[in-house]
Amino acid sequence: MFTKPLTFQSRSTMRTRRKLSGLYGHEAQHKVRRAMNYALLTIVALLMAFPFIWMVITTLKSSGNIFSLPPMLIPDKLFQPDMFSSYATLFEEHNFARYTLNSFWVALMAAIGQLIASSLAGFAFARLEFRGKNLLFGLLLATALIPVEVTIIPEYLLAIRVFDPIMKALGGAWIDTFNPLIVPSFFVGTTGTFLLREFFRTLPRELEEAAVIDGATVFQIYSRIYVPLSLPAMTTLFLLAFINNWNALLRAVIYIKSPENRTLPIGLTTFQNEYTAQWDLLLAGSVVTILPLIVIYIFAQRYIVEGIATTGLKS
Amino acid sequence: MHYSRITPYLFIMPMIIGLIVFRFGPILASFLISFTEWRGTVPPEFVGLGNYEELLNSSIFWEVLINTFEFALMFVPLTMILGLALALLVNQKLRGIAFFRGMYYLPAITSMVAVALVWNWIFTARFGILNHVLRTYFGVSSPPNWLADSDTALLVLVIVSVWKSAGLPMLIYLAGLKGIPSHLYEAARIDGANGWQQFRYITLPMLTPITFFVLIITIFDAFGTFEVTFAMTGGGPLYSSSTLPFYIYQNAFNFFRYGFSSALAYVLMLIVVIITLINFRYRDRWVQRDVY
């Protein structure tokens, strides 16, 4: 009577013990694997971020130490009173405050333009019926795949022959102003139209009904129902457009002539040609160009990353 | 909702104007301009296929064209592989994974001019940190001159472009990975498939529609590369790192040859269109249908 349960018990304890040790082993293994994952993630992150790190380090060196070999890894001006002197030079002697302001204005206005144009078109494509709808939408997507090199030459010729004279007659100008950097955004936006169309289509149509009964016009339905409800998508679009226009180079290179109208990318390019090899100054310019976007990115990563993933996937 | 027939057109009016003024008009115009000799302020003159003849006989054009394809052949696979690798890395349920995803995407949101500067500095032959590391830790006695050498300049542009462009494929692949149903992996594990086999026989096939899309946009990127060339090499030394988009820009806005550069632009467009069509033609050979 005793032996049987005993053996049974001992067997079962053995089994439990084995199971437990297996479990512990598993958990230890799990921990090691997780640590290795983090290590790998960190190494890759350091590799991807190295140019940014090296950029900042270089700006914190005094000019005499930039070309030292082996390269100085801990910058000599770190935590010294003159730590940010290359940045100060940039703003005091090289007009970077002006460039930053210009970039901000251009990016802001262009992003607003994208919001207006894309939400109007996106609403029509999502909710209204009209002849040629699919054809137009198809053309909008298809022409986005035409290289900008094909369209930029006629656009420039149009600008100098038509837009500029017209604007001059009206007391303004087109060439060497922010207009060519901003105005196109008020008219075409493939990504934006696509993104907002997709978003508007997810909103339930019942939302319109009450408004329709109250006699709201189509424009009121758009502006009072659809626009407020699509704030997350609008935020994403605004941020993407802001970033794109902040970084935009081609049109700025072509249209901007006078120094006081330069945006950051073009200001940095001319600066590079004038101050070759003054790496502390040049890279301080890079940091100034990049930093505002990094700040925006840190606070709004969710909108940016998710917005890109969804537009990317759906198209 | 009731509305008159013209109401929808009012909503899309800006876009229609934009399409005409900034897309169709220019596409048609540059086609016509490509048949003219149009230099700077001298009025254009019809020359028929003259510009196309000229470019076919120009050794610089062929060099630039070959560079364009070389660039694409390196850039496209490298960007796609790095994008997928990064996506696999951040497709884990770990605390703080959003931080890493953010770090990997960071290059994609920054200004090319700004990052080109630091890459220029890293690749500087004598004082750059890269060659210092190569000399000191890898025993390379005479490391390449990188940007100053016509054999390596294009390669540097590829490296920088891949680093900057891999973020978008990463995000798209990541979304694709999250869409693969987990029961497939469970079934495979029960059948005893190891990690590599699961990747090879589930992940890759399930991702083929995503891969197809990433391929299309990466090719488009490759044949549109301008900023990195503009900011880092200016196409040099000589034309060794010049690719078509940059050469078009140079001809139009440095040499003011509008006719010739429009012809170049049409060649570029033709190349992109043909490659895209080929891709769609052979899609069914390797892209899984209805995987979800």
Which residues in chain A are closer than 8 Å to B64, comparing Cβ atoms? none
Measure in Å the smallest separation between the Cα of A11 and chain B Cα atoms: 28
Which residues in chain B are closer than 8 Å to A192, comparing Cβ atoms? none
pLDDT in tens, B14-42: 999 999 999 889 999 999 999 998 887 78
Same domain, A86 and A145: no
**B234 touches A138 (CB < 8 A):** no
**B80 touches A251 (CB < 8 A):** no
Containing structural domain, residue A255: 94-314
**B292 touches B179 (CB < 8 A):** yes
Which residues in chain A are closer than 8 Å to B18, comparing Cβ atoms? 117, 184, 186-188
Alpha-carbon span B55 to B60, nearest angstrom:
8
**B132 touches B181 (CB < 8 A):** no
Same domain, A156 and A77: no
Tokens for A183? 């105005």
Alpha-carbon span B185 to A47, nearest angstrom:
31
ipTM: 0.89
Q: Tell me which residue of A279, A309, A307 sits closest to A65, measured CA to CA.
A: A279
Return the residue of B nearest to A186 by Cα. B14
Same domain, A292 and A186: yes
Same domain, A38 and A106: no
Considering its fold, how many domains does chain A have in total? 3
| Domains of chain B: residue spans and CATH | 44-286 (1.10.3720.10)
Which residues in chain A are closer than 8 Å to B252, comparing Cβ atoms? 152-153, 156
Q: Tell me which residue of A177, A186, A308 sits closest to A236, measured CA to CA.
A: A308
Same domain, A51 and A120: no
Among the three residues A70, A92, A114, which one is the final residue of a domain in this structure?
Answer: A92
Same domain, A132 and A259: yes
Same domain, A260 and A280: yes
Return the residue of A nearest to B264 by Cα. A150
| Interchain contact B266–A (C-beta under 8 A) | yes
The series of mean pLDDT values per 10 residues for chain A, 315 residues long, is: 42 52 68 89 94 92 82 80 83 89 96 94 90 89 84 90 88 89 90 88 83 84 88 89 92 92 92 84 92 90 77 58
Counted residue by residue, chain A has a size of 315
Mean pLDDT of chain B: 90
Same domain, A193 and A70: no
| Interchain contact B274–A (C-beta under 8 A) | no
pLDDT in tens, B221-253: 999 999 999 999 988 898 999 999 999 999 999
Alpha-carbon span B199 to B201, nearest angstrom:
6
pLDDT of residue A168: 86
What are the φ/ψ torsions at residue B166 (nearest 5 degrees)?
A: -70, -20
Question: DSSP readout, chain B?
Answer: ----TTHHHHHHHHHHHHIIIIIIHHHHHHHHHTTEE-BTTSPPEE-TTHHHHHHHT-HHHHHHHHHHHHHHHHHHHHHHHHHHHHHHHH-S--TTHHHHHHHHHHHHHS-HHHHHHHHHHHT-TTT-HHHHHHHHHS--SS---GGGSTTTHHHHHHHHHHHHHTHHHHHHHHHHHHTS-HHHHHHHHHTT--HHHHIIIIIHHHHHHHHHHHHHHHHHHHTT--HHHHHHTTT-STTTT--HHHHHHHHHHTS-BHHHHHHHHHHHHHHHHHHHHHHHHTHHHHPPSS--
- Beta-bridged to residue B36, according to DSSP, are B46
**A166 touches B281 (CB < 8 A):** no
- Beta-bridged to residue B37, according to DSSP, are B45
Same domain, A49 and A84: no
**Of B199 and A27, more confident:** B199
pLDDT of residue A255: 93
Same domain, A159 and A243: yes
Alpha-carbon span A58 to A75, nearest angstrom:
7
Which residues in chain B are closer than 8 Å to A289, comparing Cβ atoms? 111, 113-114
Burial class from Cβ neighbours inside 10 Å (0-12, 13-18, 19+) for residue A299 reads exposed
Same domain, A150 and A212: yes
Measure in Å the smallest separation between the Cα of B154 and chain A Cα atoms: 19
pLDDT of residue A7: 41
**What CATH number does residue A177 fall under?**
1.10.3720.10
Measure in Å the smallest separation between the Cα of B74 and chain A Cα atoms: 19
- Beta-bridged to residue B46, according to DSSP, are B36
Alpha-carbon span B192 to B169, nearest angstrom:
31
Per the CB < 8 Å rule, is A45 touching B104? yes
By Cβ distance, the residue of B92, B132, B230 closest to A37 is: B92
B234: left (phi over 0), alpha (psi -120 to 50) or beta: left
For B134, other C-beta atoms within 10 Å of its C-beta total 16
pLDDT of residue A18: 52
Same domain, A260 and A184: yes
Query: Average pLDDT of B125-131?
Result: 87
DSSP letter for A72, please.
P
- Beta-bridged to residue B257, according to DSSP, are B39
By Cβ distance, the residue of A52, A222, A249 closest to B230 is: A249
Angle between helices B167-178 and B59-90 (to 10 degrees): 40
Alpha-carbon span A249 to A48, nearest angstrom:
23
List all residues of chain B from 229 to 258 with a beta carbon under 8 Å from chain A.
230-231, 244-245, 248-249, 252-253, 258
| Interchain contact A123–B (C-beta under 8 A) | yes
Q: Tell me which residue of A104, A110, A113 sits closest to A264, measured CA to CA.
A: A104
Question: DSSP readout, B159-225?
Answer: HHHHHHHTHHHHHHHHHHHHTS-HHHHHHHHHTT--HHHHIIIIIHHHHHHHHHHHHHHHHHHHTT-
List all residues of chain B from 43 to 82 with a beta carbon under 8 Å from chain A.
none
Count of CB contacts below 8 A, A vs B?
Answer: 274
Cis peptide before A292 (omega within 30 of 0): no
Alpha-carbon span B247 to B242, nearest angstrom:
6
Which residues in chain B are closer than 8 Å to A116, comparing Cβ atoms? 14
For the ranges A122-126, A305-309, B45-49, B77-81, the maximum mean pLDDT occurs at: B77-81
pLDDT in tens, B9-21: 899 999 999 999 9
Total-model pTM: 0.89
